[in-house]
Chains A and B, each alone.
Chain A
Amino acid sequence: MNPGCRKKRKINICNDRREWCDLPEDLLVIISNHLNLADVLTFGRVCRNWRLFFSASKQKVLTSQPPLVFHIPSRASKSCYFYDMSSGIRYVTKLADFSDKSILGVSNGYLILERVFLYNSDIWAVNPVTGHQLKFPGMPQPNTTKYDRDNPYFKCRRVRAIFASFGCRQDFLVMILSKLHKNVRFCTSRDYKWKVYSFTGKTWDILDIALYKGMIFAITSELQIGLLKLGHPDLKLLNLECTPNICINVRFVASDDKLLVINFSSLRVNGVVQVYWINFEGWEWVKVNNLDDEALFLGDMMTSRLIKTSNWGGCRNCVYDLQFMSNTCYVYSLNGPMRRSVPTTIKGGVSPRKINCWYFLHQAYNINNVKEVILAET
């Protein structure tokens, strides 16, 4: 913009002529509260003042959005769809160059994709909201096999992937647990070298990994919980009391201040919610009977999360279970029978071959960190 025009704006302010560009911030807040997310993003592109406002209030706006149902194309499509169950609004985002890659998981707002070659594969982390992407080349032992094309669910059960940032220069870490290869492989954007922690030969398998408070936790098939150290890759098992006697189909669910373990079998087979909280002060497992004002969002592809519901009017103390290729989300009360089912697609919307999982918008711009010490520690 040329200086003349800027000057004109100044004069207008002095003359007390009200300019929408200079709207008081509280008025912008009120208007943006009524907008859906796509419109909030549009708002941020209108003029400089609104851009500043958007940058400053982005995180707040995004946190007040409900979790979205994320429809990921299984292959050969460029569009990903997001569906807001509470308002029925559908969003679309275009992923460049998606067709030759397959999906390993969703972590911290990023899709983790794999492009398979003969003996290795490239791993991509792509943020579907901001468009940011990163390539981690040359991972040995590809995760996707030719059988996965027909049934991506098998892969989703044996592969768990984490994407996180670390350090002050915003470096990134990608980590992949493969139950098939019995190892955890990881790579950072500092050196792009793949390192491996193998659990071949152990009496147990690693069932799941989770990023919690900057550390990577793993849970084994003997229900031991351990801390993954990445400097010289090792799993340090923790001594926890009161380990429950539950089947081994369990998964981690993390929030900012809690690490939970949920019994997947009891929920999906019997509709019974069994949730445990890992108490790191008393070093014990604690059965959870009440989630207070939070709800557990259970999804495949690593998209389970504990979320406060007060911001967007969801059911508190509930479990929202969204299955891989299901068109329905089931809502369970923590101490009672299933409450209701909610459709996750709109008519004529999405073909059943798409993969469904959760997407948490507040993670799109603010990804969780891994503590540097975990990477360096010996």
Chain B
Amino acid sequence: MSSSIASSSSSSSSSSKKEKKISLKTSDGEVFEVEEPVAMQLEIVRSFFADNEDVTEQTVMPLPNVSTAAMHGILEYCRAHEEFRRRMPEAAPEEEVRAFEAGYVDRKSNEELKEMILAANYLNISKLLDFLTGVAAKRIENKSVEYVRAFFGVENDFTPEEEANLRREYEWAFEGVDED
């Protein structure tokens, strides 16, 4: 194992080059040592290190809005994309990316997906955010208002009169028709 400048601990650095690591602390106190190019996909991290000259490599950046579970999911995605980029800097291998993304979201429950959308929004990773919101949209396609409320865990806060008005609109519902 090559000695790294940063106080990196666990992850193996198979490359001979010293890999710079950045420490990120999630809301529940866990510290992640993240390879620099991966961490820099998180726009909030990139600008934190770009804007603050007094931060050092030892600085642990707190991310109070991101849970450990969401962080695991996000890093998995960002690492995979960094790997694609490293292997094929010119053009990403589209087939492979699609296959990875499909398998990646299949394993995510609605709860995990929502958590990660909020985290990706906070961390400002536009590519991941765009991808995850697309997945969420697919999961609520052609579903009822009640289903969408339950999906997002949103409470119905309309008054009975408003509800009645909405129901009237609903009678005219402009609906998507499932192809079958």
The interface of chain A, by Cβ under 8 A from chain B, is 1, 5-6, 9, 18-21, 24, 26-27, 30-31, 33-39, 41-43, 45-48, 50-51, 81-82, 88-94, 128-131, 346
B128: min CB distance to chain A, Å: 11
- Residue from the list A6, A19, A90 in contact with B179, Cβ < 8 A: A90
A47 in contact with B149 (CB, 8 Å):
yes
In chain B, positions 145-170 with a C-beta closer than 8 Å to chain A are 145, 148-149, 152-159, 162, 166, 168-170
B141 in contact with A36 (CB, 8 Å):
yes
B152 in contact with A46 (CB, 8 Å):
yes
CB-CB under 8 A from B177, the residues of chain A are: 81, 90-92
A88 in contact with B179 (CB, 8 Å):
yes
- Residue from the list A27, A33, A46 in contact with B149, Cβ < 8 A: A46
Most buried by A among B145, B157, B171, B179: B157
B155 in contact with A37 (CB, 8 Å):
no
A38 in contact with B129 (CB, 8 Å):
no
Could you list 10 examples of A-B contacts with CB < 8 Å?
A9-B157, A20-B154, A27-B117, A30-B130, A31-B137, A48-B158, A50-B154, A88-B179, A93-B172, A93-B173
Report the Cα distance A89→B142, complex, angstroms: 10
B68 is an interface residue with CB less than 8 A from chain A: no
A88: min CB distance to chain B, Å: 7
Given contacts A21-B152, A94-B172, 20 further A-B contacts (CB under 8 A): A1-B158, A9-B157, A18-B118, A21-B154, A24-B121, A31-B133, A36-B176, A38-B176, A39-B140, A42-B143, A45-B169, A46-B154, A47-B149, A47-B158, A50-B154, A90-B176, A90-B179, A91-B174, A91-B175, A91-B177
CB-CB under 8 A from B142, the residues of chain A are: 38-39
Most buried by B among A6, A27, A41, A46: A46
B103 is an interface residue with CB less than 8 A from chain A: no
Considering the complex, give the chain B residue whose CB is closest to the CB of A36: B176
CB-CB under 8 A from A42, the residues of chain B are: 140, 143-145, 148
Most buried by B among A34, A91, A130: A34
Report the Cα distance A7→B175, complex, angstroms: 34
CB-CB under 8 A from A45, the residues of chain B are: 145, 166, 169-170
Report the Cα distance A43→B137, complex, angstroms: 11
A73: min CB distance to chain B, Å: 15
A165: min CB distance to chain B, Å: 19
A292: min CB distance to chain B, Å: 28
In chain B, positions 90-139 with a C-beta closer than 8 Å to chain A are 114, 117-118, 121, 129-130, 133-134, 136-138
- Residue from the list B141, B145, B170, B172 in contact with A46, Cβ < 8 A: B145
Considering the complex, give the chain B residue whose CB is closest to the CB of A81: B177
Considering the complex, give the chain A residue whose CB is closest to the CB of B172: A131
Say yes or no: A93-B176 contact (C-beta < 8 A), given A34-B134, A46-B148, A47-B157.
no
Say yes or no: A1-B157 contact (C-beta < 8 A), given A18-B118, A31-B136, A39-B137.
yes
Report the Cα distance A89→B177, complex, angstroms: 7
B154 in contact with A92 (CB, 8 Å):
no
A37 in contact with B174 (CB, 8 Å):
yes
B159 in contact with A130 (CB, 8 Å):
no
A18: min CB distance to chain B, Å: 5
Say yes or no: A5-B155 contact (C-beta < 8 A), given A46-B148, A129-B174.
yes
B50: min CB distance to chain A, Å: 22
CB-CB under 8 A from A24, the residues of chain B are: 121
B13 is an interface residue with CB less than 8 A from chain A: no
A31: min CB distance to chain B, Å: 5
A113: min CB distance to chain B, Å: 15
A5 in contact with B157 (CB, 8 Å):
yes
B175 in contact with A38 (CB, 8 Å):
yes
Say yes or no: A47-B154 contact (C-beta < 8 A), given A42-B145, A131-B169.
yes
Say yes or no: A35-B137 contact (C-beta < 8 A), given A27-B121, A42-B144, A90-B177.
yes
Considering the complex, give the chain B residue whose CB is closest to the CB of A22: B154
Most buried by A among B114, B136, B138, B152: B152
CB-CB under 8 A from B3, the residues of chain A are: none
Considering the complex, give the chain B residue whose CB is closest to the CB of A21: B154
Report the Cα distance A277→B172, complex, angstroms: 38
Report the Cα distance A35→B138, complex, angstroms: 8
CB-CB under 8 A from B143, the residues of chain A are: 39, 42
B65 is an interface residue with CB less than 8 A from chain A: yes
